[in-house]
Structure formats: C-alpha cells, structure tokens
Structure 1
C-alpha cells in the first residue's frame, strides 16, 4: 500500500538545529508544509552533497512556507559532530533529525532492516499531515533540490486550486490542466 495521501504517524525525535538540540514531533510539523529527506548515514559520500544542495536552496523553501527536515538513523549528537567538522554540512540551517530507534524510518517505510540505515526517501507533507509526494531512491542515486522545489510548488498549487492538475515539466506560472470530458484524447 502506498503512503500517498496517508497522514504521518505520531513520532518524537531529537534533532540538531542552529547549534541546539531540539525535539521534533508530528505536532511540530502540523499546520505547515514540510519536507522529510531521509539519507543513509552521516560522514558518508553522496549524503553531504545532497544536504549541501538542500542548504543552498533552503531560503527558497522557507519563502514557500516549507520546513525541511533531514533524517538519518544516526543520533542528533552525530549530526552535531558532522555539522562541526564538514564544510558542506556546516551550511545546513534546517533541523537534522536523529532516528537511532528507527521509528521514523519505519513510519516512512524507508528502513533497510538488515543494515539499520534508511534509503534515500523524500516526502512532501501538507499542513494536514498528509504525504503528497513520495520518492525513494537506491542509496547510490543522489537527489536534486531544484526538482524537489518544483514538486513542492506543484503540490502547493494544486492544494490551492482544486480541480486543476500540473502536467509534466510544469514550472511555477506555467499553464495547468482542468481535467474534463473535453480533454479526453486531445492531449
């Protein structure tokens, strides 16, 4: 069964954010758009390139009213150590959630049980807590923040414009479609 349109399960976790340890929960994310970006592990190879790309685009997410949460099965202590020692990760200003109990990774169905790490999973959650975008990659395939921004913009657009849909390659400001009998077989 797909997680699309399901409500995120209750959780509580510790995160490293702006030099502090904070608690993040399903209640923390309620009422606003959120992006959860799961990755395998701190101090690795593809992961810092992705988190740095997100950090470079974080202001754009914030302008859209979106909070970004990175999540790995490392602890919040490991996140702080990585933040303090990596040039790429030192740019991260969004919360870095530790999931050493694997609760979140299981909730989002990205845990590789035999390895104790998460797949590269990306989830866009609306203010009602429903998962609207879900993408899971093999751990060798990195993600691109600009494509995630496009998907969040599309999800926000269709949430604000019921009955419209965003076609392939849709970019903000481009034409959308209104499904109807008149369009059947004409696209």
Structure 2
C-alpha cells in the first residue's frame, strides 16, 4: 500500500448527505482538503461509534475547510436507512458514500479479499487530490476523530510551510522543526 503522495484514482459514486442522494467523484474531492474514512459495514458495532465521533467533530473539520466522506460497500439506500434509524448515525451531516461496486474501495486499496467489505482505512487528501496520509487498522480497533483532526492540521501546516515538519504529538501553534544538517544528532 504505497498510496502516500499519489493522486486519487477516478471514481463516481452515490452518497447520502443531509436527506439527499448526491453524486461524489474524484473531482469532488479536489480543490479543498478531504478526509475519506472507510468502514466495514452499516448496522455494525465499532463503525457507528467512529462515525458518530466524526459527526461530533465535523464542525472543526469544516472550520479548516476540510470535507469528510465516509465509505462502505453498502448502498446509499442502506446509508439512508441507517441514518434514519440510529441516533448516533442520525447526527451525520457529511456525505456517506455507497460503494456496492467496490470501485472506490478498490481504488484506495482497502477492499478485503473474498469478503466484499472495506478495511478500516483513513485517507487525508490535499486540494490537488494527492493522498497525504493513510492509516489502516484492524476491524476491532476504532479511530479517534480528534487525533485525525490533529493529523489533518499537521498536513495543512506542512503544505503551507515548506521546509518545516511537525514532530510527534505536534499540536496547532506548537514549535515545528526545520530539517537541516545542524539538527542531525541533536534531537
């Protein structure tokens, strides 16, 4: 999975967002920062906790100009039904992409062989449509939206400040590093 620093592949899918079905393509993701979060299936256990956490933090992503998309291999109809019946999923205002053809899931290399389900994958995509961050975890390991938000802020910072990098645990406003020969062996 060598997807970091590669452009996203073309795709076209239908999503459920705020009571409507909308078309989402690779072009939709360009022009702003995006986060694409894959999860195994609707009506499951860890997935709604993660998606609710994203919903609870969605306004923070929006303040940064970042759009969030969740994706599973379920249909957009299933996403609507889940949204209408689950209090946790009912909070979601971001697009829930249905991928029953597996096109999007394959393009991001998170389709589980022989299962038709997506791995728990997270992708940070820059405004040019280039993948800047990838994280894939086992099915039982839920993600944290605040940690994802921290990583997105770091990716945006690095993109806007060439020659600087964000060290471990970096938070917005903290000191960054400027890699140079002078730093070698001093950290």
TM-score when normalising by structure 1:
0.99
Deviations 1:6-65 (A, max 9, x none): 000000000000000000001111111000000000000000000000000000000000
Q: CA deviation at 1:113?
A: 2.2
What is the distance in 2 between the residues matched to 1:180 and 1:6?
26
Q: Deviations over 1:84-114 (max 9, x none)?
A: 0000000000000000000111100000021
Supply the distance in 1 between the matched residues of 2:29 and 2:36 (Cα, whole angstroms): 10
- TM-score (structure 2 length as normaliser): 0.99
Tell me by how many angstroms 1:79 deviates.
Answer: 0.1
**Structure 2 residue 166 is the aligned partner of structure 1 residue 130:** no
User: In structure 2, what is the Cα distance between the partners aligned to 1:185 and 1:94?
Assistant: 44
Give the corresponding residue for 1:163: 163
SS at match of 1:133: strand
Mapped partners of 2:184, 2:153: distance in 1: 26
Residue 144 (1) aligns with residue 144 (2): yes
Q: Kindly report structure 1 stretches of 4+ aligned residues shifted beyond 3 Å.
A: none
Gaps of 5+ in 1: none
SS in 2 for 1:135: strand
Give the equivalent residue in structure 2 for 1:47: 47
Corresponding residue of 2:178: 178
Q: Secondary structure at the match of 2:149?
A: helix
Aligned length: 187
- Corresponding residue number in structure 2 for 1:116: 116
RMSD: 0.5
- SS state at 2:37 partner: strand
The answer to whether 1:70 aligns with 2:67 is no
- Shift of the alpha carbon at 1:82? 0.1
Q: Which residue of the partner structure matches residue 91 of structure 2?
A: 91
Distance between the aligned counterparts of 1:26 and 1:6, measured in 2? 13
Structure 2, unmatched stretches of 5+, are: none
